[in-house]
Structure 1
Amino acid sequence: MPRPRRIAAATLIGGSATLSGFYGFLIGEAILARRAIGTTDDRPPSPDGLYGDDLPGRTIRVLVLGDSAAVGYGVTRADATPSAMIGVGLAHVMDAPVEVQCRAIVGAQTSDLMGQIDLDPDWHPDVAVIVVGTNDVTHRVTPQASARMLGQVVRRLIAEDCDVVVGTCPDLGTVQPIHQPLRAVARRLSRALARRQTIAVVEAGGRSVSLGDLLGLLFTERRDVMFGADHFHPSETGYANMVSVLIPAITASLRQKQRELAYTGRPQDLVSVADAAAVSVEHPGTQVAPDAGPGGRFASVLRRRRAS
């Protein structure tokens, strides 16, 4: 009997060494990718202000929270930031002035969102737009912990009568400075986080929009125009693509609140929140909205169709 135990111990030690070596390799890959991408606290000129001030409707207040993708990292003009694009686009669609305040921070993680909300407690938004998750993946925050924190943020905003639209974590599997096998790990983790984010957001009463298209097929096909100079963050065109899938969700949320309408589809039109999350991860641009069905565990899904 002693001999098998020694063999088992040797096998365990060998397996642990292999696993440690693999994780050491991944950490080395991550360091190289971070150096290639670079880090900075620089941000574009502030997009905060009123858009469509000559329009007749009631002013809509929009709060933008999150990380560098919400900030618009890499662009040099205020009007090229996601916040400004949201302001202009939403004012046009809603035919009303839109006041935007961006509190997103470069490098922010989900754990930083509560602090961003508290920056100006006297300014009460009608809708909050959140884009976050990438830094949770790169800092090895588990999808479960990240989604739990996001759900808490959404519940707080909803309790304060603020609609919430969340752009889920983009697919990091096509980021150029990240090499294999780290790229495969990044893809798996980012997709797992996006799925859990969707469930947490919808169960808390918000709407989610899959942003897999940011670094997915469209970005793979058009790297030259969709990525910025660091090949990690989006270009101005890339940010515009992100905003194009957020605006419909923001509009739908605000219009539903204005009309005080609940989902009126037949029961078979609904899917479970978990199934909706799985669909959204596979189909970038998909919007998932909560439904007041039995137990609050159902959602309606609006899939975005790619232009032919």
Structure 2
Amino acid sequence: MNLLSLWPISAIVRHRETAAARIDLTIPVNSAFWRARQKKAGELLYLVIGDSAAQGIGASKPYRGYVQVVANHFAAETGRTVRIVNLSVAGARLREALAIQMPKLATLLRDASPDLLTVSIGANDINSFEKGRFARELEELYALLPSTAIVADLPCFHIPQRERLVAVANRIVRATAERHGLVVAPLYAVTKRQGILGAVYQSAADLFHPNDRGYRVWASAFLPAVAARAKDLREHATAGRKAPAGREANQ
């Protein structure tokens, strides 16, 4: 028997609302953590575009969200330290990413090319989904990204009505990413694979944001593309070290 069925629906709703209010209190805490984190020096630069998931909301600590897991993996794969500049904003939809995060990204791109850039945005658009607007805003956002960016599709919601909208949104994500030559991290596939019970087990108390376990699942969607990016950087560094000897030999 499902233990949740023994609870009155009203009790479940109250529990979720109380948990959501408590988790909302962590938003400024996580935001302050990432502002401080970007001051920490690193040999490689990792930029992040996203919403509350990129902020690690729902995790026991901000650094237990998927962003830090990805950064740790990137550092291990390259053997170099990583500076994280997390531009994400809790609650952001595509329109807020365009208005708030992308101008900051443009400023950063004028000064340096990121060694890694991940984008996970659009899940909050499902609440008031408009196919045309979603497509236009996603096109505008992806056009501003460097070709090395890794973009995630939307996660699985495990709710039939939401899933129909997510399916439409993810078709747009994949088609838009293909037009711009961007790699897609299969966030939907890895979260769907967990099943409903897995999703509950991997969710924070608000039953919306991931918990520490859930964020490790989220990170797993990015890791193959992150490993490939790290390999490219290693090969580029090796080629750079060999180039002077080659030129000297030709003289």
TM-score category (smaller protein): 0.7 to 0.9
Measured against aligned partners, the alpha-carbon deviations of 1:87-139 in whole angstroms (never above 9, x if no partner) come to 11110012111111111111111122232132361463233201112111112
- Residue 175 of structure 2 corresponds to residue 199 of structure 1: yes
Measured against aligned partners, the alpha-carbon deviations of 1:177-216 in whole angstroms (never above 9, x if no partner) come to xxxxxx3221100121112101101211211012124642
Give the letter aligned to residue 170 of structure 1: P
Q: Which residue of 1 aligns with 2:49?
A: 65
Q: Secondary structure at the match of 1:62?
A: strand
Q: Secondary structure at the match of 1:163?
A: coil
Q: Which residue of 2 aligns with 1:103?
A: 87
Distance 1:247 1:139, change over 3 A: same
The farther-off stretch of 248-257 and 232-241 is: 248-257
Q: Is the Cα–Cα contact under 8 Å of residues 190 and 221 in structure 2 kept in the other structure?
A: no
CA distance in 1, matches of 2:163, 2:188: 10
Q: Is the Cα–Cα contact under 8 Å of residues 226 and 237 in structure 1 kept in the other structure?
A: yes
Aligned-pair identity (%): 20
- Residue 159 of structure 2 corresponds to residue 170 of structure 1: no
Q: Is the Cα–Cα contact under 8 Å of residues 151 and 200 in structure 1 kept in the other structure?
A: yes
Question: Aligned ranges for residues 14-163 of structure 1 at < 5 Å?
Answer: 36=17, 38=20, 40=24, 42-43=26-27, 44=30, 46-47=33-34, 48-49=37-38, 59-114=43-98, 115-119=100-104, 121-122=107-108, 124=112, 125-142=114-131, 144-158=132-146, 163=148
Structure 1: tracts of 5 or more residues without a match: 1-31, 54-58, 175-182, 261-308
Measured against aligned partners, the alpha-carbon deviations of 1:58-90 in whole angstroms (never above 9, x if no partner) come to x22111111112211112423212221121111
Measured against aligned partners, the alpha-carbon deviations of 1:223-280 in whole angstroms (never above 9, x if no partner) come to 45311111111111100111122022123135346657xxxxxxxxxxxxxxxxxxxx
Distance 1:50 1:81, change over 3 A: farther
Instruction: Give the drift of 1:42.
Output: 3.5
Alignment: residue pair count: 210
- Residue 216 of structure 2 corresponds to residue 220 of structure 1: no
CA distance in 2, matches of 1:102, 1:237: 21
Q: Is the Cα–Cα contact under 8 Å of residues 128 and 165 in structure 1 kept in the other structure?
A: yes
Q: Secondary structure at the match of 1:129?
A: strand
Instruction: Give the drift of 1:165.
Output: 0.5
Q: Is the Cα–Cα contact under 8 Å of residues 191 and 217 in structure 2 kept in the other structure?
A: no
Give the letter aligned to residue 233 of structure 1: H
Give the letter aligned to residue 147 of structure 1: A
Q: Which residue of 1 aligns with 2:213?
A: 237
Give the letter aligned to residue 173 of structure 2: Q
Distance 1:252 1:188, change over 3 A: same
Q: Is the Cα–Cα contact under 8 Å of residues 170 and 211 in structure 1 kept in the other structure?
A: yes
The farther-off stretch of 73-82 and 163-172 is: 73-82
CA distance in 2, matches of 1:236, 1:226: 7
Bigger radius of gyration, 1 or 2? 1
Q: Secondary structure at the match of 1:101?
A: strand
Give the letter aligned to residue 104 of structure 2: L
Q: Is the Cα–Cα contact under 8 Å of residues 200 and 207 in structure 2 kept in the other structure?
A: no
| Structure with greater contact order relative to length (CA < 8 Å, sep ≥ 6) | 2
CA distance in 1, matches of 2:25, 2:96: 15
CA distance in 2, matches of 1:50, 1:91: 17
Query: TM-score scaled by structure 2?
Result: 0.73
